Amino acid sequence: MRQARNARAASRLAEERENMKMALRVKVLTGLLLSLGLTLVAFAFSGVSARPQKAPAENAGWERLIYSLKGPDLFRAHCAPCHGADAKGGGPVAPALRAKVPDLTVLAKGNRGKFPAVRVRRLILGDDVSLSHGSRDMPIWGPIFHQVEEDRDYGNVRVENLLKYLESIQQR
């Protein structure tokens, strides 16, 4: 009887060892597959962020300057199509929108002479939504501005430079 118990215990121990080996193999294989998958994804997208996007030839004046860090360039590329080159709301896309495009040169005027940098930043990044629109007509630029290039995220630099530019064009 003792031998039978020992045999069953040995059998269970051997089975547990086999199960542990199998679980370890599954973990290793899963890790390898995940690593391979991430490597393939990284390889597939490695050149995407390094290539600037081009607008169609007929819109050459509104060429996207996604990788620029300069406030005026960012405005021309991302804001002027709706807000206009003069930032007064008369861009070429404005007539197609449901809501009236605001004049960005009077933001300080409507805020007791102080440029509302925090509110504008929140709108650009998508943290705030203008309820008067009914839906989000203005694109959220935060994810675009935060594209990683050369192992750096210049998103905050872009937003700050755009805010400085917008502040510089306020009517006095």
- Report which of 10, 93, 51 is spatially closest to residue 18, judged by C-alpha positions: 10
For the chain, give the percent of residues with pLDDT over 90.
Answer: 26
- Average pLDDT of the segment spanning 84-97: 92
Token pair belonging to 172: 């006095």
Beta bridge partners of residue 151, listed in sequence order: none
Mean pLDDT of all residues belonging to the chain? 74
Cβ(75)–Cβ(165) below 8 Å: yes
Reported as a pLDDT band with limits 50, 70 and 90, residue 38 is low
pLDDT tens column, 104-146: 999 999 899 999 999 999 888 877 765 444 455 566 666 667 6
Residue partners of 101: CB distance under 8 A and separation at least 6? 82, 83, 84, 89, 90, 91, 94
Q: pTM for this structure?
A: 0.56
Token pair belonging to 45: 């997208």
> Does the pLDDT of residue 43 top 90, yes or no?
no
Architecture of the structural domain at 57-168:
Orthogonal Bundle (1.10)
Cβ(109)–Cβ(115) below 8 Å: no
Reported as a pLDDT band with limits 50, 70 and 90, residue 78 is confident
Reported as a pLDDT band with limits 50, 70 and 90, residue 87 is very high
Which segment, 27-31, 39-43, 101-105, is predicted with the most confidence on average?
101-105
- Give the domain ranges of the chain: 1-46, 57-168
- Token look-up 């080159």 returns 85
- The Cα–Cα gap between 62 and 82 comes to 11
Beta bridge partners of residue 153, listed in sequence order: 148
